[in-house]
Amino acid sequence: AQSVTQLGSHVSVSEGALVLLRCNYSSSVPPYLFWYVQYPNQGLQLLLKYTSAATLVKGINGFEAEFKKSETSFHLTKPSAHMSDAAEYFCAVREGYNKLIFGAGTRLAVHP
């Protein structure tokens, strides 16, 4: 069965600093991996996805993630944090042909 582990339930950065949110996966098949963002009382918005093409994936709002098979990781980064990036971030792995297994989430706080 597939699973994802997000290291760090809370991450706090200064505005303008690097954002690094960690995600490690476990999968018995080549994985499809996703990062979603959730703002308070809203649904999920897809930031980016890895579907076995390029290992460095660029998403919306300046985020990117790199798939590293040797490390079973898919960490999310952004060079410079903005106040509007404060939200909950979920890493997910596909199970079967259309199910998603979510990590526990990481709450990103951005302070001035």
CA 54 to chain centre: 16
Residues 53-82: x/- map of binding to other proteins (CB under 8 A)? x-----------------------------
**21 vs 35: CA distance, rounded Å:** 10
Choices 17-25, 69-77, 78-86, 92-100; region in contact with other proteins by CB under 8 A: 92-100
Interaction of residue 109 with other proteins, rule CB under 8 A: no
8 A C-beta contact, residue 34 and residue 102: no
Choices 21-29, 46-54, 61-69, 76-84; region in contact with other proteins by CB under 8 A: 46-54
Residues, the chain, total?
Answer: 112
